[in-house]
Amino acid sequence: MIRLLVLDVDGTMTDGGVYYDSTGNELKKFAIKDGAGIVLARAAGMQVMICTGRECEAVRRRAQDLHIDYLFQDVHDKAAFLSRFMAEHSLTKQDVAYCGDDLNDLTAMALCGFVACPADAAGPVLGRADFICRQKGGEGAVRGTVEEILLRDGRLPAAVKKAFGAKI
């Protein structure tokens, strides 16, 4: 059963674009549907980690708003970082899912028992994924990933009930 969901940001939680305002601040657009997916993951007992190679205040703010368990920015070797994290937290391959979109995610994906990607991920990532979301990055791919994980292990109805008080 998945206990930790690891998320890339650019191209996964966002559309991969980098926007700057007139003062040089970096802006990102996040999908509200992905936020609901993260709420579902947490309701099902999963912890959520953001692991990204860039650093951005907008990502810190989004992580804070969603009560993300772990936020790690400016991570250039995601596989080495994730390997250490998993060892420190006694997580096995089968405990961890990863959702990412690009070549720099591939080595970290190899450490995980379930790999998902947005529909517009890089070709080698599409080839590696256990699940390819219908959604593109920044358009609900994280939500699609969470729903697939919870469907596969039977936790979706209980998570929806706990998170939103709804029955499915």
| The pLDDT value given to residue 136 | 98
Rounded to two decimals, the pTM is: 0.97
List, for residues 121-140, the tens digit of each pLDDT value. 999 999 999 999 999 999 99
Chain Cα centroid distance, residue 12: 7
User: Which residues partner with 97 through β-bridges?
Assistant: 5, 114
Q: Are 34 and 119 in contact (CB under 8 A)?
A: no
pLDDT score, position 137: 98
CB atoms inside a 10 Å sphere around CB 153: 12
pLDDT of residue 84: 98
The pLDDT score that the predictor gives to residue 125 is: 98
23-64 pLDDT tens trace: 999 999 999 999 999 999 999 999 999 999 999 999 999 999
The length of the chain in residues reads 168
Average pLDDT, the chain: 97
pLDDT number for residue 47: 98
Confidence class for position 3, pLDDT limits 50, 70, 90 = very high
pLDDT of residue 166: 94
**DSSP at 68:** -
Per residue in 92-124, pLDDT (tens digit) is: 999 999 999 999 999 999 999 999 999 999 999
Half-sphere exposure of 168 (CA within 13 A, CB side): 14
pLDDT at res. 28: 95
Model confidence at 89, pLDDT cuts 50, 70, 90, reads very high
Element (H, E) at 115: strand 114-117
List, in order, residues 6 or more apart from 50 with CB less than 8 Å away. Answer: 7, 9, 13, 59, 63, 68, 70, 71, 72, 73
| Residue 20 confidence (pLDDT) | 93
Specify the pLDDT at position 141: 98
